[in-house]
Chains A and B, each alone.
Chain A
Amino acid sequence: MSAKAPLPRPGATLDITDAVCPLTFVKAKVALEDLEAGQVISIRLNDGEPAQNLPRSLKDEGHAVLGLTDNGDGTFALLVRKGPA
């Protein structure tokens, strides 16, 4: 991932800091199913297991992980572009 290219603005947001595995993934998956292919969503998630596993799980589903940004408060912002159906 290039550090230079600006990240796209998300068209949707989701907060899953109140969920634990595997509901973190389930909620992200449901939110992505409501989007069109190519749309971008910003997902707020907790440090630790969600930040480690969710990007990998969403890649496995065929989505593109554009970036993971530390919010500085123990949470991260995960930017994901929905893959082709």
Chain B
Amino acid sequence: MGLSDGDLERYSRHIILREIGVGGQRRLLAGKVLVIGAGGLGSPAAMYLAAAGVGEIGLADGDEVDLSNLQRQIAHSTADIGRPKVQSAAETLEALNPGVRVNRHPGRVTAADILDLVARYDFVLDGTDNFPAKFLINDACVIAGKPFSHAGIIRFRGQLTTYLPGRGPCYRCLFVQPPPPEAVPSCRQAGVVGALAGVIGCLQALEAIKFLAGLGGLLCGRLLTFDALSMAFREIRVPVRENCAVCGPDPTILRPSDHEMAACGLGE
């Protein structure tokens, strides 16, 4: 793949880096990342992926932009209220970098379509705000052998980890099953400081960029937590669960399924 003079200039700060160089930038340009959830995490993540020149970015989200989203979902603007998030975010990415292809996947991702969707991409980024979606993404990515970045944020705290097929634990190794709906405050009920979404979403983008360019160490087998109040990162080593129902040697989960949405399907 040839790099135009415009590409050399646009990506010059990447190409200068010995660890990325022309080869790494070419790999980014050939890379395909699916961002599920065009919200607080997905907005900054997708914007940095587009800026980095990731060649193909898929956006999957079934929601429309709401005024209360704008405190943290920076891919959308006030004028976008009421519009589908995939449309609003896609336009932001295309304006940022016309050289990347943005695929719009409107509608909530379900067990019926997620395997076909993730198969089209090299890396998946979970930017959703509810446990059923997180387990759906995990199970689909494990079954499809697709690496993905998990993240979650609430109030002043965030966490993320990266699944690499066959090389470390999956999300279900950490958390066997979704918590009961009544135990879960969603982002709609619990507050979240907007800039925290930027911190964690950008860390997810970094994981995708490093995976595509083939550099550094990923958060495989490590859960990174961040507390914005104390400004402290903490790393928790997480082992593979030997009898994991989806990534273990004798799996009982053989296809993705839709869990109860009551956890935070309120008002949807």
A23 near B23: Cβ-Cβ < 8 Å: no
Once bound together, how far apart are the Cα atoms of A61 and B20, in whole Å? 13
Number of A-B contacts (CB under 8 A): 25
**Chain A residues near B16 (CB-CB < 8 A):** 22, 25-26, 29
Contacts A23-B8, A23-B9 known; A30 to B18 CB distance under 8 Å?
A: no
B60 → A minimal CB distance (Å): 35
- Cβ of A33 within 8 Å of any chain B Cβ, yes or no, is yes
**Chain B residues near A29 (CB-CB < 8 A):** 15-16, 21-22
Of the residues A22, A23, A33, contact of B22 by C-beta under 8 Å: A33
**Chain B residues near A61 (CB-CB < 8 A):** 18
B22 near A30: Cβ-Cβ < 8 Å: yes
- Cβ of A27 within 8 Å of any chain B Cβ, yes or no, is yes
Interface of B is mostly: helix
Once bound together, how far apart are the Cα atoms of A61 and B16, in whole Å? 10
**Chain A residues near B15 (CB-CB < 8 A):** 26, 29-30
A: residues with CB less than 8 A from B are 22-23, 25-27, 29-30, 33, 61
9 residue pairs, one from A and one from B, having the closest CB atoms? A26-B12, A33-B22, A26-B15, A26-B8, A30-B22, A22-B12, A22-B16, A23-B12, A23-B9
B: residues with CB less than 8 A from A are 3, 8-9, 12-13, 15-16, 18, 21-23
A selection of 19 A-B contacts at a CB cut-off of 8 Å is A22-B13, A22-B16, A23-B8, A23-B9, A23-B12, A25-B16, A26-B8, A26-B15, A26-B16, A29-B15, A29-B16, A29-B21, A30-B3, A30-B15, A30-B22, A33-B21, A33-B22, A33-B23, A61-B18
